[in-house]
Amino acid sequence: MAGSKNAALAPANAGGGGANPARTQIEELIAKCAIGDRKAFESLYDATSGKLFAVCLRVLNTNAAAEDAMQDAYIKIWKNAGRYRVTGHSPMTWLITITRNTAIDRLRTVRGDKDMADYDDVLAAPGATPEESAIAASEAGRIVDCLDTLPDDRKDAIKGAYLDGRSYADLAERAGVPLNTMRTWLRRGLIALRECMSQ
């Protein structure tokens, strides 16, 4: 990502706690990142960097290495925001998974072929807890209901972008509209979804 290691990713803020927005707010920030909103990316960083830095530090043990890994993780988050599925894991689970895997990849590079079993204790148990699964299922149902309240063009755009992983250019071409129009549809559709989900 061009300019990814800017002030938003300054290591000086790496240890800061930041706010702890509700799940829907984190999801909204990720969705805005997917359509290239850099301010949303900075807000996402501010809101989550403390937790993600702690994840990196637990794996790598030194501040410098953890800061480097965290910056790499945020670059991946920016590039892959469009792949986040609101009907899957919680947003923090998604962010932590990317960050932990990035830190472990860096650890493998540093340690070479050392048996990674030595670091099993830093890995969270795979899969969601029963409570997380129940919450995800409930929220998925609400999202489907809220999607059905949108005009068909907005609904198809959001499903194409965030569930099917289609590019915005592809969606615009399929809908026969300019790219900027498609971005507007996505932005307004996400705002409407957020309002519906908050009721």
As a whole number, the mean pLDDT across the chain is 73
Q: What is the pLDDT of residue 138?
A: 54
Contact (Cβ atoms closer than 8 angstroms) between residue 197 and residue 143: yes
148-158: buried (b, 16+ CB within 10 Å) or exposed (e) per residue?
eebeeebbbbb
Helix, strand, coil in percent for the chain, rounding step 5? 75, 0, 25
CB atoms within 10 A of CB 82: 17
The share of the chain scoring above pLDDT 70, in percent, equals 66
Q: What is the pLDDT of residue 154?
A: 84
For residue 67, give the nearest of 4, 124, 22, 10 by alpha carbon.
10
20 versus 73: the higher-pLDDT residue is 73
Task: Give the pair of three-digit tokens for residue 82.
Answer: 């469009």
In terms of average pLDDT, the best of 83-87, 144-148, 175-179, 182-186 is: 175-179
Residue 88 pLDDT level (bands cut at 50, 70, 90): low
Query: Worst-scoring range by mean pLDDT, 131-135, 156-160, 175-179?
Result: 131-135
Mean pLDDT over 40-65 rounds to 88
Compute the distance between CA of residue 31 and CA of residue 7 in angstroms, rounded to an integer: 21
